[in-house]
Structure 1
């Protein structure tokens, strides 16, 4: 894993092998950020990274100028790794929290420019993510929700769904706030 853009471009991330994660591949991440580069201005955005795992995506947004990145994962080892790595590289715009994502979403009252969710692929509650985000009005106007999931899963039945991009067995589904 590496940071592919921004102030930390080229930084290699070497998380411990025992973390309970399935990181977004460099290929998929690079494709995602190429798409986003043409749609949003990274400088100054507020990002919520759900199921943040190693913090790979959180650090990418922070490296590219996000003013605030809130990362949520239920693994304390992942949260400690992200906090330590962010501190080592001066990314004080990242705040990492240990929590169950669905419990966290019920209590969160802030709005974000972008919400990224990379849940475990076997999680049966994946379709609930867009539902909760939009019911709670968690996106700012023109905000974007991106859910990473298995390519065979279809999330297009949500009214805010825009498109799905496939990268092998992984897909990103995009949802837009109006």
Structure 2
């Protein structure tokens, strides 16, 4: 069972997309991740972009904890429908779902947020290779707010993402088989 861990919708259950095309971030990992992000002041009032959103669990967790705007971007039709259903069921303000490939969304006009994105969450499928992920991270550079945080979740066996030139070193946390890298470009 996947649920919202804390905030206005804390404890509420989330549906997961049918089949095995997504791997929802565990409650334990989301709890640890968002505790650290909240301690850094990166969630409350933030504009959040959740790429490869799946069920929407990461972005909806941010909305539950006070993010003012959350955009869930998901290419898989069933997953985008599930994310939309979860967002509607929770009724949190400022959440919208974009059914589109991440690369296409980032290249389009809807990605250019006024003032930039404060928090970007990426949990790409294992099929997204390091080269493709590096391209997505590079596409984010002009779209970020000044004090943004970027979080990448991958298998703990994956190499550290290739960050865009000039970004500071990332902080890595490992939760069993899950690796989480956080950087403040």
Q: When the two structures are superposed, what TM-score results if normalisation uses the length of structure 2?
A: 0.87
Q: Is this contact kept in 2: 1:6–1:64, CA < 8 A?
A: yes
Superposed CA deviations along residues 77-112 of structure 1, whole A, max 9, x for unmatched, are 222222222222212311101111011111222211
Q: Is this contact kept in 1: 2:122–2:152, CA < 8 A?
A: yes
State the partner residue of 1:77. Answer: 78
Number of matched pairs: 175
Q: Is this contact kept in 2: 1:19–1:77, CA < 8 A?
A: no
Q: Which runs of 5+ in 1 are unaligned?
A: none
Compare 108-117 and 46-55 and name the one that shifted more: 108-117
State the partner residue of 1:170. Answer: 178
Cα shift at 1:48: 0.2
State the partner residue of 2:32. Answer: 31
Asked if 1:132 is matched to 2:139, the reply is yes
Output the CA distance in 1 between the equivalents of 2:10 and 2:50: 19
Output the CA distance in 1 between the equivalents of 2:105 and 2:23: 21
Asked if 1:116 is matched to 2:121, the reply is yes
**Pair 100,32 (structure 1): closer, same or farther in 2 beyond 3 Å:** same
Output the CA distance in 2 between the equivalents of 1:76 and 1:17: 11
Output the CA distance in 2 between the equivalents of 1:105 and 1:154: 24
Superposed CA deviations along residues 113-149 of structure 1, whole A, max 9, x for unmatched, are 0000100123112232322212xx2110110111111
Cα shift at 1:62: 0.9
Output the CA distance in 2 between the equivalents of 1:93 and 1:109: 16
Q: Which runs of 5+ in 2 are unaligned?
A: none
State the partner residue of 1:96. Answer: 97
Runs of 4+ deviating beyond 3 Å: none
Q: Is this contact kept in 2: 1:127–1:155, CA < 8 A?
A: no
Q: RMSD across aligned C-alpha pairs, in angstroms?
A: 1.7
Cα shift at 1:41: 4.8
Output the CA distance in 2 between the equivalents of 1:123 and 1:157: 13
Cα shift at 1:39: 0.6
